Amino acid sequence: MTVEQIPPGLVLIVGAALLPFLGGWWRSALVLLAPLAALWLVWQIPDGATLTTDFMGLDMIVVKGDKLSRLFGTIFCIMAFAGGLFALRQARTIELSAALFYAGSAIGVVFAGDLITVFVFWELMALGSTVVIWSADTEAARRAGMRYVMIHLLGGVLLMAGILDFVIAQKSIAFGAGPIHEMLTVNRPGTWLILAGFLINAGAPPFSAWLPDAYPESSPTGMVFLSAFTTKTAVYVLWRGFQGFDVLIWIGLFMVFYGIIYALLENDIRRILAYSIVNQVGFMVCGIGIGTYMALNGAAAHAFTHIIYKALLLMSAGSVLYMTGKRKCTDLGGLFQSMPLTCICGIVGALSISSFPLTSGFVSKSMISQGAADQHLAVVWFLLAAASAGVFLHAGIKFPWFVFFQKDSGLRPPDPPWNMRLAMVLFAALCIGIGVWPEALYALLPLDVKFKPYTGYHVVEMLQLLLFSGLAFFVLLPFMKRTLTISLDVDWFWRRLGARLAHAFTVRTNRARGLTAERLQDRMAKALEAVFHLHGPKGILARTWDTGTTTLVIVGLLAAYLVVYFL
Amino acid sequence: MDDDQDKHWLVRPRTIRRLWIVFAAVLALTVVAGLFVSLPGHFKWDGEFWFFALYGFTTCAAMVFGAKALGLILKRPDDYYDD
């Protein structure tokens, strides 16, 4: 086996298995070095399939490389490293182990050359991420993790059903030979089943609620990992499998505004950031739907930069949660005084997600808008511009303002321990580095297309949009007073309606069972009584007879015998 | 104004007033800058130098009020699912 045949994700999965047996420095070394080793392996994989195998007559391609796979593989490894550094001394071993397993499975998906391999790693990812959620070890996390895994297993079932239809139609399991909606056509159920399976993991409607439901229940460090892999792996498979499918433009735009509106209503800081994951993935899904080289490169680049700044935001929020134990806007405020580094890193992440010039978000998101403009998609372009302003509103200002400024909550926690600080500084530096020198990122992008982000037009457009969005925020602040509320979502149907129906069903079936049992018991009792009447100690058939009666009966019988004999 | 000396300098009313002035100046500057760059104007109005300022403000206001209106229907106490 040569080095380019080793699946890079395997290093992390093996590392995850070894981790529980190690302690002290060995444990730290494994958490930090396994992602770096995987990163090195990612860059050993050339274009084309390197590891193939035969499984029940199917040609499986376990490792297949190209620029897109390496781009996602690279950012997943960087993310696993920084997340590991952030969680190094704070997370439980089971969480770190599950996170490595989860990251390794995600890398497995992006190097998979066939649908079965995609499916296998897809399901492993669902298992790893569920354990990361459960690692928070609270009742709320246990329940949320259960809801999470149900939705993801549903997604897996839809995906598998779609893959079966694909195999029937194509006689092949190869993934990435062309867009699935063109190979299968939109008339085959397989197209829609595979799309649905992919979209559930992307946080698309109607199942977006799993994300803001489950992720914020994880530990302060857990959500940093969770934010990166599941949704971005979904972006990867949509990019490969459904590029240019115009349904995705509208699904993406829906996700963008869903994220903004729900985040504006939300009080929990990590749930605000969870809604903004849906919002950002919406931009990518929209870009994939537009499907031009510019938009596709933009979607891939945005996935890369998004992983970094969203993890940074969640590290900042996780630090606050870790140091204060509080997660609601209404309980926080004024923390900039005692947590300056966490505040500055949070602001860098917030500016990046808002795609402020000189940050990473700017150099990636403007490519998606450019893609819409090039295609003269006026409505899409105007909606994307409004959404860019909305991102600043719901995440860019709202998050730092309510956590670090707003009112003085009286809390004065210090910045978090050194490893958490170091991870934040590393990702903040990457956010600015990519924003200032985008060429390095552009060189990694899958398609060959020229784009200049820093033109006077782009910069002025974005600054006007964002700064006036900021003005709107502060002018309308009285309308955004935080309340101790949550917002209903589609998950109401299973968390409330479904639960109530199930409860009513249980109560009624219980009652019916009780009644039936009672009646049955009644009848049994009566039947027993009848038997007792006949066979009991004094029953007709069981009682003892006195000698006279017995003699009389025998005489009667003999008489009857005589009569019969003479006849 | 003695109380103010106890507060962090960033949250004293005087600093906040100054920040608003700086913010207003920056806002004006970005609009003026629109005059000096060539805006391609892919569509109808987006070539105007003030367009994105107005668009950014109004769409954000619309989103805030839209969210507020939806909130009337969707908001529940945060222990809603706890029973």
Q: Which of A446, A400, A115 is nearest to A304 (CA)?
A: A446
Task: Give B52's contacts in chain A (Cβ within 8 Å).
Answer: 385, 460-462, 464-465, 468
Nearest CA in chain A to B36: A456
pLDDT-derived band at A359 (thresholds 50, 70, 90) equals very high
What percent of chain A has a predicted confidence (pLDDT) above 70?
100
Q: pLDDT, tens digit, for every residue of A414-426? A: 999 999 999 999 9
**How far is the CA of B49 from the CAs of A354, A370, A387, B32, in angstroms?**
21, 19, 20, 8
Q: Check whether the bond before A206 is cis (ω within 30° of 0).
A: yes
Do A133 and A278 fall into the same domain?
no
User: Rounded distance, CA A227 to CA A245, Å?
Assistant: 25
Query: A34 lies in a domain?
Result: yes
Considering only CA atoms, give the Rg of chain B: 21
For residue A524, the SS3 value is helix
The predicted structure's pLDDT at residue B1 = 44
Does one domain contain both A197 and A319?
Answer: no
Burial of B77 (0-12, 13-18, 19+ CB in 10 A): exposed
Set of chain B residues whose Cβ sits within 8 Å of the Cβ of A258: none
Summarize pLDDT for A468-517 with one digit per residue, the tens. 999 999 999 988 888 888 899 988 998 899 989 999 999 999 999 999 99
For residues A301 and A278, membership in a common domain is answered with: yes
**Cis preceding linkage at A35, omega within 30:** no
Q: How far is CA A9 from CA A15, A81, A124, A197, A413, in A?
A: 10, 13, 12, 22, 38
Using a CB-CB distance cutoff of 8 angstroms, which residues of chain A are in contact with residue B50?
464
- Residue B82 pLDDT grade (very low, low, confident, very high; cuts 50, 70, 90): confident
Same domain, yes or no, for A375 and A410? yes
Same domain, A173 and A247: no
Q: Do A476 and B64 touch (CB under 8 A)?
A: yes
The answer on A371 and A257 residing in a single domain is yes
CA distance A279 to A284: 9
Cβ atoms of residues B56 and A472 within 8 Å: yes
Q: How many domains does chain A have?
A: 3
- Mean pLDDT, residues A392-404: 92
Chain A residues 341-380 with a CB less than 8 Å from chain B = 373, 376, 378
pLDDT above 90 as % of chain A: 80
Is it the case that residue B5 has pLDDT exceeding 70? no
A250 & A235 share domain: no
Tell me: do A329 and A190 sit in the same domain: no
In this structure, what token pair is assigned to residue A14?
A: 């093996």
Contact B42 A376 (CB under 8 A): yes
- Contact yes or no for A264 and B75 at CB 8 A: no
A62: burial class by Cβ within 10 Å (0-12, 13-18, 19+)? Answer: buried
Range of the domain at A467: 243-485
| Helix-then-strand count for chain B, H and E | 3, 1
Q: Where are the domains of chain B?
A: 2-74
pLDDT interval class at B2 (50, 70, 90)? very low
Return the number of CB contacts < 8 Å for A and B.
145
Residue B83 has pLDDT above 70, yes or no: no
* B63/chain A closest Cα distance in angstroms: 7
Give the residues across from A114 on adjacent strands. Answer: A174
DSSP A204: -
Tell which residue, A170, A266, A180, A277, has the closest CA to residue A223: A277
Q: Let me know if residue A358 belongs to a domain.
A: yes
**A490 assigned to some structural domain:** no
Contact B61, A473 (CB under 8 A): no
The answer to whether B11 contacts A405, with C-beta atoms less than 8 Å apart, is yes
As for the ipTM of the complex, it is 0.91
List pLDDT tens digits, range A519-548: 999 999 999 999 888 888 777 777 777 888
Q: How many CA atoms lie within 13 A of B65 on its CB side?
A: 7
Tokens of A559: 């008489």
Report pLDDT for A3: 87
Distance between CA A461 and CA A324 in Å, rounded? 39
- Using the Cβ of A171 and the Cβ atoms of chain B, whether some distance falls under 8 Å is answered with no
Answer yes or no: do A464 and B36 touch at CB < 8 A: no
Compare A41 and B7 and report the one with higher pLDDT: A41
Q: Is the confidence at residue A405, as pLDDT, over 60?
A: yes
**What pLDDT does B4 receive?**
58
Q: Is A483's Cβ below 8 Å from some Cβ in B? A: yes
For residue A419, what are the CA distances in angstroms to A46, A351, A494?
34, 23, 40
CB contact under 8 A, A261 and B40: no
**pLDDT at B3 > cutoff 60:** no
Q: Which tokens sit at B7? A: 């507060």
Does position A222 have pLDDT exceeding 60, yes or no? yes
Q: Across the interface, do B8 and A337 touch by the CB < 8 Å criterion?
A: yes
Q: Are residues A514 and A430 in the same domain?
A: no
pLDDT at residue A114 is higher than 70: yes
Minimum Cα–Cα distance from A475: chain B residue: B61
Q: What is the mean pLDDT of residues A334-340?
A: 92
Task: Enumerate residues 6+ apart whose C-beta is below 8 A from A525.
Answer: none
DSSP A480: G
Is residue A486 within 8 angstroms of chain B, CB to CB? yes
Q: Are A456 and A530 contained in the same domain?
A: no
Smallest Cβ distance to A264: which of B8, B53, B64?
A: B64
How far B4 CA sits from the closest chain A CA (Å)?
13
